[in-house]
A and B are shown apart, each in its own frame.
Chain A
Amino acid sequence: MNHIGPNQLIYLVEAARWTILLSLIAFAGGSVLGLALALARVSKIGALRLLASGYIQVIQGTPLLIVLFLSYFGLGIMGYKLVPLVAAGLSLTLYAGAFLGEIWRGCIEAVAKTQWEASDCLGLNRFQQYAYVILPQAVRLAIPPTVGFMVQIVKNTSLASVIGFVELARAGQIVNNSTFEPFVIFTCVAAIYFALCYPLSLAARALERKSHAAK
């Protein structure tokens, strides 16, 4: 029987790279989707607003695990077999998009109404209003909660392990299968997640304090 040693730890740390990659994919995809959803939620077109809020309600009302199963096993049986990385990236994108969309909508709505009116008076069209007046201000409000949400993304990548994607949590299970020391191993796994997430949490808190101080 193997014991936990440097090799096992190196294996875990190497697997953490996949956790980071998956988090980056989810964050990138989620940002694009989230921005589209946020803009749709504040759009003048009623149908767009309805569609976006319906999507957000559905995704926020179902577990990520089920979305993951749908995109991996479900699509697989329909004939669209996705590799685990793609299925996990897709599910996390759908998930992150819904939450980021809600966060960013709040930030867009938090920009003072007079900013809209002033830019209207200056003759800016809707696109120019967003690009030059509203979004630059909304982004400043959005940074602290977005960094905070990245912690959720990193933690939720652990669910990709259930469809066999070898990231940190799955690597922990694999190591455990050969060493049978689950307490030590999963504590190490948790410690690595903590090392990834805690700096993000601290950053989010510091940014929040800074933006409160600026007000």
Chain B
Amino acid sequence: MSYVLDFSFMADKWPAFVAGAWLTIQLTVVSISLGFVVGTVCGLVRVYGHPLLRRLVGFYVEVIRNTPLLVQIFIVYFGLSSLGLKLSAEVSAIIALVVNMGAYTTEIMRAGIQSISRTQMEAADCLGLNRLQTIIHVVLLPAMERVYPALTSQFVLLMLASSITSQISAEELTATANLVQSDTYRSFEVYIVVAVVYLALSALYRFAFWAIGLVLFARRRRLGTALQ
């Protein structure tokens, strides 16, 4: 094999990669946060909501989970703009990622919320907690604690999936890679670099969610064990 790996382009291209990675982080932090809110609300609706709303949320979840993110992004970016709603690539990317994240989070949170026994809420009632307090402290936090591993791996998957937004030229990490490789013709090296950056990012995200989990779930009960 005569091919020699040459990473010398990194000497003057590294700021582009840093900028790309930074935009990836921004995009994903925003869409994970918003998507989590959407998913949590939809999860609550799916379990406790009006039957009609429940149906509606179910429809939303099924449609999103059974179509590719790439097509969802195209519908938001090209589709909405043809209907007259002109959005920038970044905003379209965030909308598509939030909608996508929301659907997956709904399913995960629904499972968590359904696992909270009714007696927990009756007990909260007896203790004089109001509705909001009950939902936050008795339903949502314990529910989230149970499904936290599933939730975090979904978050990391979303971060990886955000690479797809490069297809509508949101200038995140993958788009940066495409740009640099068309500049330097070193596609193999460029994508290896980007793969390593994504690996580092997923390690970073896992660590961050683990740390958040420690703060959020102070009882540090072993995840997955039954609530008494």
- Residues of chain A whose beta carbon lies under 8 Å from any beta carbon of chain B: 58, 60-67, 69-70, 73-79, 151, 155-156, 158-159, 161-162, 169, 172-173, 176, 180-183, 186-187, 189-190, 193-194, 197-198, 201
Contacts and interface: CB of A to CB of B under 8 A. Distances in A.
Contacts of A70: 188, 191-192, 195
Contacts of B74: 169, 172-173, 182, 186, 189
Given A63-B163, A190-B75, 6 more contacts: A73-B187, A75-B188, A151-B65, A158-B71, A173-B74, A201-B62
A201 B67 CA distance: 11
Interface in B68-84: 68-72, 74-75, 78-83
B194 interface: yes
Contact of A74 (B69, B191, B198): B191
B71 A190 contact: yes
Contact of A186 (B69, B75, B161, B181): B75
Contacts of B115: none
Contacts of B3: 77-79
A124 to B, nearest CB: 33
B134 interface: no
Nearest to A201: B66
Contacts of B106: none
- Interface of B: prevailing SS: helix
B191 A69 contact: yes
B203 interface: yes
Of A69, A73, A180, most B-chain CB atoms within 10 Å: A69
B164 interface: yes
B78 A66 contact: no
- Interface of A: prevailing SS: helix
A8 B75 CA distance: 17
Given A61-B202, A77-B185, A183 B83 contact: yes
B79 A186 contact: yes
Q: How large is the interface on B (under 10, 10 to 19, 20 to 34, 35 or more residues)?
A: 35 or more
A176 B198 CA distance: 32
Contact of B161 (A60, A63, A172): A63
30 contacts: A61-B160, A61-B202, A62-B198, A63-B163, A63-B164, A66-B174, A66-B177, A69-B177, A69-B187, A69-B191, A70-B188, A70-B192, A73-B188, A79-B1, A155-B69, A159-B68, A162-B167, A169-B68, A173-B74, A176-B78, A182-B78, A182-B82, A183-B75, A186-B78, A187-B75, A190-B67, A190-B68, A194-B67, A201-B62, A201-B65
Contacts of A169: 68, 70-71, 74
Nearest to B203: A61
